[in-house]
Structure 1
């Protein structure tokens, strides 16, 4: 039986249930708005279902196995066996628990949930097509709308994802067997995280990258530490090469690359993971019907209140531009909902932290030394190497550092780059410091617990002031 089109109304319509969308929906409902959330795939979006959470689950699981097998210096002798199918089931269980939690939180807040694909009809209405044959559609009239449709993996021409030979990051995270040979196209954060996972699981991994090093956009010494650790795991790199085409073999594929001289190199692999970045999904919601046009990169322009050029339509998360980070999306979602509810909210963060879950981890926030100079500051830098950290040594982690950047005259914190164990956690202290307008003296005079990794932040602040105790 075909369900006919019906029309309902809502004060706040949110399109997309990822970290930006579901947060906007819950916050809107908390503020008393009649709120409707439309999601076409799974609540939690890419982050919870196909990105942040499943990838970090696999990283944690593979680290357990790898670390146990590499701890002879500690007197631990083990040869762990990995059951990839069971590991995948555990990872999926984590994802399911969190996505169900998102759905439950929305329902508890009073958010109306609709499953389907939303498209604008005009600037006051969307039509939601329900999945499945004969499921029909419905129209939803709204007063305010939040576009939170997220992003998707970028496809390289000729390397369209098929889920078998040519894999997206989503495909790679769903594998239940480990390929003997994996070719990875792209040495950005996604490529490096997943390369490390599969190398630790026993795959022979080769990474092809157009540029001359891993992790474009990060400082050279940051990238160097991660690359050298990856090489120690057996990962091979081919820099200055671009994937051109591929052919299928009886037992895998052959990928051809070209360099700046048009020289061709061929690589045989069982599968190829293409991880060259992500692009915003702004072509599925009928933006032209509401009078919006994305820029050349597919992003929607927004102001400090997350509004688009159409005042009652907001955009949050990956569709609203860089940085394409889940926590940035959530912050924007909160602001969008509060503005829709008439609250005096705005995005005024001084700096947004970022983390890369490679081995070792990377955490960054604010400016680098060179960026501070370009911005007109006279920067002072303080650094604490992890090899001088007692806690890092007890974890058998010697590589990396904590680096703080501050203004020389005022000592105001400007940024930090951390490479090492738990860098994703350590960066939060500096992020808070920047947001609060802290000075080097504030970090240096704060007593940090011993023995912890956070002492390296304290020591870096001391070093920037010329008062280092534990480093030369």
Structure 2
């Protein structure tokens, strides 16, 4: 039986990063993955493939709607070759997952293909291609999550689908009905709307991206409406039925009326849930909570002290970069170091166009906590760089403590916000004030100037260009 200092079950961003960091710190490390490729949901059927399709569909939309504004004339019809687009997406996925294989070899990490389950707290049975038993002093559970569903919906994965199937459709839907106005549904909805599908989003709450700042929800809703997506807010889905190649969705609106929607595909995008099936946690004495998450303490230790858990399988936002931070945190904790994670400073991003990004507290949270705050906001349309590229939608909003001027939250929607949010994270990590940001030189012309201008607006209502 092979013995290891650390064994990681699951090879997503949390698992493979934990494995690399453990190996860097001198531990003999193994990683167990039930699928034939490494990288988990994120690299195979999540973050990476969806961004590839978002990029491809964005190019198509630019060519069909905006190139002419730039003096670029393309003779003849511009057509979508969906098979080739999906093929490119898969090539990006293959290259990225192949890169993880390389990193495992580079760091001398043993990779086992098969389903890992606990025999006891230090022994793991692997069933599959590499069937065997291994021993590990420490174990990290990094098994991630899978798409959630509503109890009355039967997913046939042909017409009534999850995000996994939506990433490999063989045709552009005529009418795609999306249940859920969260990140995944909106990103995939924008992909297929750009490619010509009619899109209807049905959301139970009174706004889309409901966990983010209300200002961002309102602005993104405008973007989708402008693209002629039907945004059915405050609608409670009652039934989803397939009739041949048609899907019929019935939902109740806030007036109590039942509304019917008919489409050829229905994407069920109502969040994700922790994936712990087959782990045999009981054999290792690992406790779960009533939400199906693995319980952990502040050191990410489970109820069994030598077993840790990270990522989507525990509490907190289901984000790849949160899992990565936790993977590093656990590796360094096992090595005797004293790492830290500030969960308030893990940014959230929606990769639509315009992009949406945020870090820290929302206005709603500050009001609920009775925190006195001030707001500085700056529109992208006032930026020279935004006008030059034609990306004028959106704004940057900075929330700062009314007394100390410390930045408490940054919320933005606009071009390149997924990248711009990093400036806010750095600033807040070092407890910067709005004035600190406003006094930093920002290159001109750039989208980043909107951050400086919002900081100026928050500091003393003295934005320069609006």
Query: Shorter-normalised TM-score: what interval?
Result: over 0.9
Counterparts of 1:370 and 1:254 in 2: how far apart (Å)?
Answer: 36
- What does residue 89 of structure 2 align with? 91
Runs of 4+ aligned residues of structure 1 deviating over 4 Å after TM superposition are none
Structure 1: tracts of 5 or more residues without a match: 1-6
Q: Structure 2-normalised TM-score?
A: 0.95
Deviation at residue 196 of structure 1 after TM alignment: 0.8
1:68 aligned residue (63, 70, 79):
63
* Match status 1:39 vs 2:39: no
Deviation at residue 249 of structure 1 after TM alignment: 2.9
Counterparts of 2:459 and 2:156 in 1: how far apart (Å)?
Answer: 55
1:19 aligned residue (6, 13, 20):
13
* Match status 1:180 vs 2:178: no
1:114 is paired with a residue of what secondary structure? strand
Q: Structure 1 stretch 427-436 or stretch 288-297: which is displaced more?
A: 288-297
Deviation at residue 103 of structure 1 after TM alignment: 1.3
Q: Structure 1-normalised TM-score?
A: 0.94
Alignment of 1:183-262 (within 5 A): 183-259=177-253
Does the Cα contact within 8 Å between 1:282 and 1:294 map onto a contact in 2?
no
Counterparts of 1:180 and 1:210 in 2: how far apart (Å)?
Answer: 24
Counterparts of 1:159 and 1:234 in 2: how far apart (Å)?
Answer: 27
Q: Structure 1 stretch 343-352 or stretch 376-385: which is displaced more?
A: 343-352
Counterparts of 2:355 and 2:160 in 1: how far apart (Å)?
Answer: 27
1:82 aligned residue (80, 83, 86):
80
2:357 is paired with a residue of what secondary structure? strand
Counterparts of 1:301 and 1:411 in 2: how far apart (Å)?
Answer: 37
Does the Cα contact within 8 Å between 1:304 and 1:347 map onto a contact in 2?
no
* Match status 1:304 vs 2:298: yes
- What does residue 311 of structure 2 align with? 317
Structure 1 residues 377-421: Cα deviation after superposition (integer angstroms, max 9, x where no partner):
321211111111111111212221111111122221111000111
Structure 1 residues 299-355: Cα deviation after superposition (integer angstroms, max 9, x where no partner):
122233221222111111101221110001000001111112222333345511110
Q: For the structure 1 residues 349 and 156, does the alpha-carbon distance in structure 2 shift closer, same or farther, using more than 3 Å as the test?
A: closer
Counterparts of 1:246 and 1:422 in 2: how far apart (Å)?
Answer: 37
Deviation at residue 162 of structure 1 after TM alignment: 2.2
Counterparts of 1:232 and 1:311 in 2: how far apart (Å)?
Answer: 53
Alignment of 1:324-403 (within 5 A): 324-348=318-342, 351-403=345-397
Structure 1 residues 75-122: Cα deviation after superposition (integer angstroms, max 9, x where no partner):
344553110100111111111001010111011101110000011111
Counterparts of 2:435 and 2:360 in 1: how far apart (Å)?
Answer: 18
* Match status 1:48 vs 2:43: yes
- What does residue 456 of structure 2 align with? 462
Does the Cα contact within 8 Å between 1:350 and 1:435 map onto a contact in 2?
no
Does the Cα contact within 8 Å between 2:454 and 2:463 map onto a contact in 1?
no
- What does residue 433 of structure 2 align with? 439
Counterparts of 1:346 and 1:429 in 2: how far apart (Å)?
Answer: 20
Does the Cα contact within 8 Å between 2:344 and 2:361 map onto a contact in 1?
no
Q: For the structure 1 residues 284 and 242, does the alpha-carbon distance in structure 2 shift closer, same or farther, using more than 3 Å as the test?
A: farther
Counterparts of 2:408 and 2:167 in 1: how far apart (Å)?
Answer: 36
1:465 is paired with a residue of what secondary structure? helix
Q: For the structure 1 residues 302 and 210, does the alpha-carbon distance in structure 2 shift closer, same or farther, using more than 3 Å as the test?
A: same
2:13 is paired with a residue of what secondary structure? coil
- What does residue 276 of structure 1 align with? 270
Structure 1 residues 248-286: Cα deviation after superposition (integer angstroms, max 9, x where no partner):
334322222334666432222111110010001123311
2:282 aligned residue (281, 288, 302):
288
Counterparts of 1:32 and 1:385 in 2: how far apart (Å)?
Answer: 49
Counterparts of 2:340 and 2:300 in 1: how far apart (Å)?
Answer: 8
Q: For the structure 1 residues 232 and 77, does the alpha-carbon distance in structure 2 shift closer, same or farther, using more than 3 Å as the test?
A: farther
Structure 2: tracts of 5 or more residues without a match: none
- What does residue 153 of structure 2 align with? 159
2:8 is paired with a residue of what secondary structure? strand
Counterparts of 1:214 and 1:229 in 2: how far apart (Å)?
Answer: 12
